[in-house]
Structures are given as C-alpha cells and as structure tokens.
Amino acid sequence: MKFGVVIFPGSNCEHDCYYVVESVIGQPVEFIWHQDTSVKGFDAVILPGGFAYGDYLRTGALAKFSPVMKAVGDFAKQGGLVFGICNGFQILAEAGLLPGALLRNIGLKYVCKFLHLRTETTDTPYTNILKKNQLLRIPVGHGDGNYFADPETLKRIEDNRQVVFRYATASGEITPEANPNGSLHNIAGIVNEQRNVLGMMPHPDRSSESLLGSADGKLIFESMVNALAGTNAG
C-alpha cells in the first residue's frame, strides 16, 4: 500500500503526516504537489493541516481549485481513502467531498489545546480498530473549526451515522463546555456517505507518539492500514 500527502501553498503539517506514515506506522509515502493532475498509484491520500493559499478568501475556498483536487475527487469516487485533517477538512468541505462547512470559531479566537474525542462509529476505514464511545486525547489548532450544516443535511449525516468523532469531556459526556469552537452537535469529524472520505479538525498527526503527549492519533492511521490490508488481501 502507498500513501500520498498533498502539499498546497501554505500547508504546514505535511511533514507531520509524512513522518507518521513512514516512521510510526511504517508504510510507503510520497508527497503530492498541488499542481499534479494524477494520484495514480496511491491507495490513500492525506490533505494535511495548514493555511492553504493563506486562507485569504475563505478556508479551503482557493485550494479546491488546485489541479490535484479533481484527481482527488475522482479517486474518492472510485473508493480511494481520502483523509483531510484541519485545513484538509476545510478543503474537502469546500470541494463538496464532505457535507457542511467550517465557520469561524464561535469565540472568534484561535484554539490550540488537547481535547477528548468520543468515537461515534467504528464501521469506517479510519476507526475499525477502535471501540464505540472510545475516547481519544488529540489536540486541535484552528480558528475556523465551527462545523455547520443546514437542518436537513445535519439530520441526514446523523441518521447515516456519518459523524465519526464528537468533542467530549474526559468522562465521555457531550457537553457545550467540551466544544472548543461551537460546532453543531459537538461534531469533530465526519465521513461521506460511502465512508471512504474522512474530515476531522483535531490533529491525529500531532498525537501519534507518547512523546507528543498522546499516541491516540496513531489508532486512526493504523485503522487505515488495516482497511487497506483487507482491501488488498483479495
């Protein structure tokens, strides 16, 4: 299996993701430049955190026009694993690969700290080794992480169990106090209806080794390897 990490102008977590894949989970990985028009040969594509195009227009609004995004969209339609972290989540939402939008944090301030996430569903390629309601300690670092969707869309993703992670207390409760940005229903990460595209605001790449304060994020990457190994087994 082979992972690709897309670099946009303004990406700043591409090396974090690359390191996790290569050194922590021990899989082949290459960078993909935003002007590339193909992602052929990759089994999973990661859109890392950062400030693509400086967020000058709106987070992810310019990056969705990068040539690579058409290839990423086609890759996703064919069932390929696409994982957007923080700015990557914002790009996926802007590109229409995930429902909803990411707005300014309700407090209008940048939030950077460790939080707890409650695992809502385990039947995705990103959570298959986790248990339902399992808590992960993973940091956030964003100013535009307030997940919003219209009532109809929100009902659909809830009914389809597309919500993968919610912000929670250390005891697993879903409370307003646990929500760092005002996201509806405490949503921290969602998948598409086909469940092969994941977007999440917290940074599992920054919590992949105990040295970083938590190794919980590694479980998400290991789930991807597990899913791909099952796919390639046949």
Supply the DSSP string of 45-62, one letter for each residue: EEE--B-GGGGSSSTTTT
Structural domain for 146, as ranges: 3-233
Q: What is the pTM of this model?
A: 0.95
Q: Count up the domains in the chain and report the number.
A: 1
Nearest to 84 by CA among 142, 35, 167, 168: 142
Quick one: what percent of the chain has pLDDT higher than 90?
Answer: 93
Neighbours of 22 (CB within 10 A): 15
Q: How far apart are the C-alpha atoms of 21 and 209, rounded to whole Å?
A: 12
Nearest to 85 by CA among 33, 161, 8: 8
pLDDT at residue 234 tops 60:
no
Write down the mean pLDDT value for the chain: 96
Predicted pLDDT at 208:
97
Predicted pLDDT at 231:
67
Predicted pLDDT at 61:
86
**18: part of which helix (H) or strand (E)?**
helix 14-19
Q: How far apart are the C-alpha atoms of 224 and 221, rounded to whole Å?
A: 5
Predicted pLDDT at 57:
77
Predicted pLDDT at 55:
81
Quick one: what percent of the chain has pLDDT higher than 70?
Answer: 98
pLDDT at residue 120 tops 50:
yes
Residue showing tokens 């996926």: 92
Taking only the tens place, the pLDDT of each residue in 42-95 is: 999 999 999 998 887 788 889 999 999 999 999 999 999 999 999 999 999 999
Predicted pLDDT at 60:
87
Predicted pLDDT at 58:
81
pLDDT band per the 50, 70, 90 thresholds, residue 232: low
Average pLDDT of the residues in 135-157: 97
CATH of the domain at 74: 3.40.50.880
Taking only the tens place, the pLDDT of each residue in 25-46 is: 999 999 999 999 999 999 999 9
Residue 213: strand, helix, or coil: coil
Two structure tokens written together for 31: 């960078």
